[in-house]
């Protein structure tokens, strides 16, 4: 008997209780069916992970939507009245929810074009990590330091994304170093390659290579390239391990790593700095006017007193 009347529509307390009970039962059934279907879909190896996520989301939306509208119908609500409401929602989407709709559509596009998928290692700006989850509005990216970034789907569509594991898991890393001119470059290349091979995670079936990249001011410059297959394990740590292996190998073979040095000399109470004798430069200051011709007072290399090489 407890009821509210809206024109020809009568809403009683009993109808509300029945609708709530029916809707709750339908939502529970939809949730159970969604979980079971999701597990079944994710076990199908012939479907890519991105398509699996799309199917799961479409199934979840369809089941929960059906449960909601069936509950409204059980109350006796006329669903044709939703036409006006849907028009108002459309206007609101056009003005205030552009970003939300854009992220939702971008999420569907990401799932369809298979550009990224859960488990991929990506770089987006300063963010480097692996994709933990593809959400309806954002992508969850977990970094090596435990931070979880929620990146909007629109950024993955409109921005440049580096996918380190899009088609395969092979990642090539480069490190640069230099050795003294007195060291044999053939020996340096051989030692560098062997040092890289001794490090765990460095692939042996894709052997490291070492090349000379130029002759610097104080060193012969090299580049060492090697491959890994587990970028999720970190990039900085593997580079550090290779550098340590190079250090130990160079010390064992007597290969030196040069660094810039300057020689400071005192000439007749005047300070001159020798930066290596660059062509066209004169490190010896001019003799002050008024001095005699005593050879001991003439500025020159024979009257200089070396003070040794300073710190870099």
pLDDT tens readout for residues 232-281: 788 889 999 999 999 999 999 999 998 877 788 888 766 556 555 444 44
Give, in degrees to the nearest 5, the angle at Cα 161 between 158 and 167: 125
Residue 82, in any domain of the structure: no
Single out the residue of 227, 232, 228 nearest to residue 128, CA to CA.
Answer: 232
Pair 234, 297 in one domain: no
Pair 136, 192 in one domain: no
pTM of the model: 0.53
Residue 258, in any domain of the structure: no
> At 290, is the pLDDT very low, low, confident or very high (cuts 50, 70, 90)?
very low
d(Cα 46, Cα 39) in Å, to the nearest integer?
14
Pair 247, 193 in one domain: yes
Pair 177, 234 in one domain: yes
Pair 242, 191 in one domain: yes
pLDDT of residue 307: 39
Domain C-terminal end among 252, 278, 295? 252
What residue has token string 């870099």? 312
Pair 176, 154 in one domain: no
Give, in degrees to the nearest 5, the angle at Cα 253 between 249 and 254: 115
pLDDT digits (tens, 9 = 90+) for 21-69: 888 888 888 888 888 888 888 787 777 676 777 788 888 888 888 888 7
Q: What is the largest CA-CA distance in the chain?
A: 128
Residue 71, in any domain of the structure: yes
Pair 180, 231 in one domain: yes
Residue 83, in any domain of the structure: no
CATH number, domain of 190, equals 3.30.70.100
Count other C-beta atoms under 10 Å from residue 121's C-beta: 22
Residue 103, in any domain of the structure: no
CATH number, domain of 142, equals 2.30.30.60
Domain C-terminal end among 205, 224, 252? 252
Long-range contact set of residues 70-74: C-beta below 8 Å, sequence gap at least 24: 70/22, 70/23, 70/26, 71/19, 71/20, 71/22, 71/23, 71/26, 72/19, 74/15, 74/18, 74/19, 74/22, 74/23
pLDDT digits (tens, 9 = 90+) for 121-139: 888 888 888 888 888 788 8
Considering its fold, how many domains does the chain have in total?
4
Residue 87, in any domain of the structure: no
Pair 240, 273 in one domain: no
Pair 16, 50 in one domain: yes
pLDDT of residue 291: 45
Mean model confidence pLDDT for the chain: 78
Residue 94, in any domain of the structure: no
d(Cα 58, Cα 45) in Å, to the nearest integer?
19
What residue has token string 């307390």? 13
Pair 72, 8 in one domain: yes
Q: Which residue has the higher pLDDT, 127 or 10?
A: 127
Q: Which residue has the higher pLDDT, 163 or 282?
A: 163
Does residue 282 register a pLDDT over 50? no
Pair 179, 248 in one domain: yes
pLDDT of residue 118: 84
Domain C-terminal end among 16, 48, 77? 77
What residue has token string 């088609």? 167
Domain range for residue 270? 263-309
- Residues 286-297, mean pLDDT to the nearest whole number: 46
Q: Which residue has the higher pLDDT, 225 or 70?
A: 225
pLDDT digits (tens, 9 = 90+) for 219-244: 999 999 999 988 878 888 999 999 99
Residue 244, in any domain of the structure: yes
Single out the residue of 115, 118, 130, 29 nearest to residue 71, CA to CA.
Answer: 29
């Amino acid at each position: 008997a407890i009821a509210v009347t809206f024109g020809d529509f009568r809403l009683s307390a009993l109808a509300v209780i029945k609708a709530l009970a029916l809707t709750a039962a339908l939502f529970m059934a939809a949730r159970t069916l969604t979980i079971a279907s999701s597990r079944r879909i994710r076990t199908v190896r012939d479907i890519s992970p991105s398509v699996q996520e799309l199917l799961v989301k479409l199934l979840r939306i369809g089941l929960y939507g059906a449960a909601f509208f069936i509950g409204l119908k059980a109350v006796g609500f006329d669903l044709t009245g939703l036409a006006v409401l849907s028009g108002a929602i459309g206007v609101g989407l056009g003005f205030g929810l552009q970003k939300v709709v854009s992220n939702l559509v971008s999420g569907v596009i990401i799932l369809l074009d298979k550009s990224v998928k859960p488990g991929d290692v990506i770089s987006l700006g300063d963010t480097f990590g692996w994709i933990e989850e593809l959400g309806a509005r954002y992508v969850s990216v977990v970094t090596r330091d435990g931070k979880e970034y929620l990146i909007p789907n629109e950024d993955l569509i409109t921005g440049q994304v580096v996918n380190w594991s899009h088609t395969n898991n092979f990642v090539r890393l480069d490190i640069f170093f230099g050795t003294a001119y007195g060291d044999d470059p053939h020996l340096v290349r051989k030692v560098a390659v062997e040092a890289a091979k001794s490090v765990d995670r460095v692939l042996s079936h894709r052997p490291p290579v070492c090349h000379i990249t130029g002759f610097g001011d104080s060193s012969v410059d090299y580049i060492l390239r090697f491959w890994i297959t587990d970028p999720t394990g970190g990039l900085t740590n593997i580079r550090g391990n290779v550098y340590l292996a190079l250090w130990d190998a160079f010390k064992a073979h007597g290969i030196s790593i040069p660094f810039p040095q300057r020689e400071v000399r005192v000439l007749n109470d005047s300070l001159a700095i020798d930066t290596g004798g660059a062509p066209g430069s004169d490190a010896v200051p001019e003799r002050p006017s008024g001095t005699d011709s005593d050879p001991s007072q003439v500025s020159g290399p024979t009257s200089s007193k070396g003070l040794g090489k300073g710190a870099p």
